[in-house]
């Protein structure tokens, strides 16, 4: 069953990635789109805990790093989403997260994830952008992700919950 669960999660990441690069650029604000892959990782972390989420985060990150039209140094999104998966998994202290905690987790995860990506770029001198520009992009990205949370997170979390009984206790 765990193979099925992994397959469904990987499929969710692939769908999120394709939507993120093909559909959302038409709705983008100054080129900034909601990070659907990050939302999938957060949903997995909130329903299934950090262990599952870090693996999914790594997979989603590598996909974001390698799928066209990506051209940045590979591994940067992988690093960011692994940390996001772990942090969001830590948030799951109570059994059922409320709407407020979900939104707060998404906002924090989006901020941390995009920041790690931006900082890794500063270290590698990949984007060569100023800090004010980076901050503006990060903040808009957080707003996008929070705006999409009520539409996307319940669906994803229900999906991951449905897969939960498959877990051999």
Partner 1 sequence: MGPLDRLRKPSGGFGGRSRSRAGRERRWGGSGQLDDGSRPSRSLLVALVLASLTLITLDYHGGDDSPVESARRAVGEVFGPVETGTATAIRPFTAVPDWFRSRGALNEDVARLQAENSRLRSAAATEDYDRNRLREYDGLTAAADNLGYALVPARVVAMGSAQTFSDTVTIDAGSTAGIHPDMTVLNNDGLVGRVLRVTRTTATVLLIVDTDSVVGGRVGESMEVGFLHGRGEIGGDGRLDLDLVDGAEVPASHDTVVTWGSKDGAPYVSGVPVGRVTSVYSSVRESTQRAVIDPYVDFASLDLVGVVVPSGTRSDRAVIEADGSLR
Instruction: Establish if 74 lies at the interface with partner 1 (CB under 8 A).
Output: yes
| Least Å from the CB of residue 104 to partner 1 | 18
**Residue 29, phi then psi, degrees to nearest 5:** -100, 110
Instruction: Establish if 73 lies at the interface with partner 1 (CB under 8 A).
Output: yes
Residues of this chain, 15-34, that bind partner 1 according to CB under 8 A: 17-26, 28, 30-33
| Least Å from the CB of residue 114 to partner 1 | 6
Residues of this chain, 133-162, that bind partner 1 according to CB under 8 A: 133-134, 137-138, 141
**26, 102, 114, 159, 161 from 105: Cα distances, Å:** 27, 5, 14, 18, 18
**Under a CB-based contact definition with an 8 Å cutoff, are residues 150 and 107 in contact?**
no
Taking alpha carbons only, the member of 23, 25, 19, 67 closest to residue 39 is 19
Cross-strand pairs, 32 = 29
Cα–Cα dist 2/36, whole Å: 23
Residue with tokens 């877990």: 167
| Least Å from the CB of residue 45 to partner 1 | 11
What are the structure tokens assigned to 142, written together?
């957080």
Residue with tokens 């999660």: 9
Q: Please choose, out of 3-11, 97-105, 123-131, 150-158, the segment that lies near partner 1 by the rule CB under 8 A.
A: 123-131
Instruction: Establish if 124 lies at the interface with partner 1 (CB under 8 A).
Output: yes
| Least Å from the CB of residue 125 to partner 1 | 10
Interacting residues with partner 1 (CB under 8 A)? 14, 17-26, 28, 30-33, 35, 49-52, 54-55, 57-58, 61-79, 82-83, 86, 89-90, 92-95, 114, 117-118, 120-121, 124, 126-129, 133-134, 137-138, 141, 169
């Amino acid at each position: 069953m765990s193979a099925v669960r992994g397959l469904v999660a990987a499929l969710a990441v692939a769908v999120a990635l394709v939507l993120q690069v093909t559909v959302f650029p038409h709705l983008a604000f100054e080129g900034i789109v909601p990070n659907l892959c990050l939302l999938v990782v957060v949903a997995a972390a909130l329903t299934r805990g950090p262990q599952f989420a870090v693996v999914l985060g790594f997979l989603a990150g590598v996909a974001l790093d390698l799928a066209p039209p990506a051209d940045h140094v590979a591994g940067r999104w992988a690093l960011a989403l692994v940390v996001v998966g772990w942090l969001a998994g830590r948030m799951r202290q109570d059994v059922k997260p409320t709407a407020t905690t979900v939104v707060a987790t998404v906002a924090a995860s989006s901020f941390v994830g995009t920041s790690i990506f931006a900082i890794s770029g500063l270290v590698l001198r990949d984007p060569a952008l100023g800090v004010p520009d980076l901050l503006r992009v990060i903040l808009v990205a957080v707003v996008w992700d929070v705006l999409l949370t009520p539409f996307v997170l319940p669906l994803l979390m229900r999906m991951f919950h449905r897969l939960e009984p498959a877990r051999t206790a």
